Structure 1
Amino acid sequence: MLNYPEIQGRVAKEIVDVIGYERTPRLSDRGSLPYCEAVINEVMRIQTVAPLAIPHQACVDSSIGGYRIPKDTLVMVNLWALHNDVKEWDNPREFNPGRFIDTESGQFEPRPSQSYMPFSAGRRMCIGESLAKAQIFLLFVSLFQNFEFTAAPEQGAPRLDGFCSIFVNHPFPYKACAKKRLIRSV
């Protein structure tokens, strides 16, 4: 968000317009904050936390997409490739929350699971998905309701690429400044 101050501003405006400064965000606010939901989903798409998902082992002989998978084969889903597939996403390396907004209604529109699965999919998907999504939403909205974030002046905007250690994607270290939003009296 440090690299996209215009998106950060739009997020803050939506939060203040819907929630204001007086109360803390609630999960029931999700449907009223479509742009925030879209930004959160775009962050999870473009910087997949676990690019190769968690390895699984085939319990029986099976097939995926026409490929034969023998029993006991180790299977790893490349979520990074899925989230950056040019057949599924226009300009996949561009940060664009509009991918998750319905152009007619202006509402948040989840992507189909075959092209977007930050928590994996199927029977062995992340068991904490619901809790994680709730916590991410509440933290994200609370932070942008109360603070404006900028890159540290001596450093500039952080790099958007990262590095992967075993199964987790990490950002390169960076510094940021958090400035309390001014509460405007009505």
Structure 2
Amino acid sequence: MKRSIKLDRLNRRILTFLQNNARISNIDLANDVGLSPSACLQRTKALEEAGYIHSYLTVVNLNKICENVTAYLDITMNHHEQPTLRRFEKAVKAYGNIVDCMRMSGGSDYMAFCVCSSVAELNELCEELLGQDLGIQRIDTRIVMDTPKWMGGYPLDDLRWRDGGDEEE
């Protein structure tokens, strides 16, 4: 069971620093947030155990290592019953080249981000998804031409935190 911890000013600073550099040493992190290394490590482990840290991730530069096509798939479903949506969501998790999928409001039901080796492979992926009994009505594909800004973390300093305050520890 995940324990609950308070998101005080120090815990928020730890999350912000880790999001910007997950490889930071505990000693450097402790110095940056103003804690002893042991207190910082305790807080970081508590944040992990409480589920505030989802994972640590290295983002590779795909263009340096392989030929690739990245695309967003706008997926519209035939029906919106829970069994259909669960079946679709379970199937999407099995595709390694679908790296992100979100349920959306608006014109389409899901937005999936995928990476393929070629446009032909992307087309095969879409055809395979449409060919299964997943309740998909339509897939609109948007191939990424360039990435002027990549996901660099959430704007934690600009968002309102659930605890709402900046209480002292």
Decide which structure has the larger Cα Rg and report it.
2
TM-based fold match above 0.5: no
TM-score by length of 1: 0.26
TM-score by length of 2: 0.28
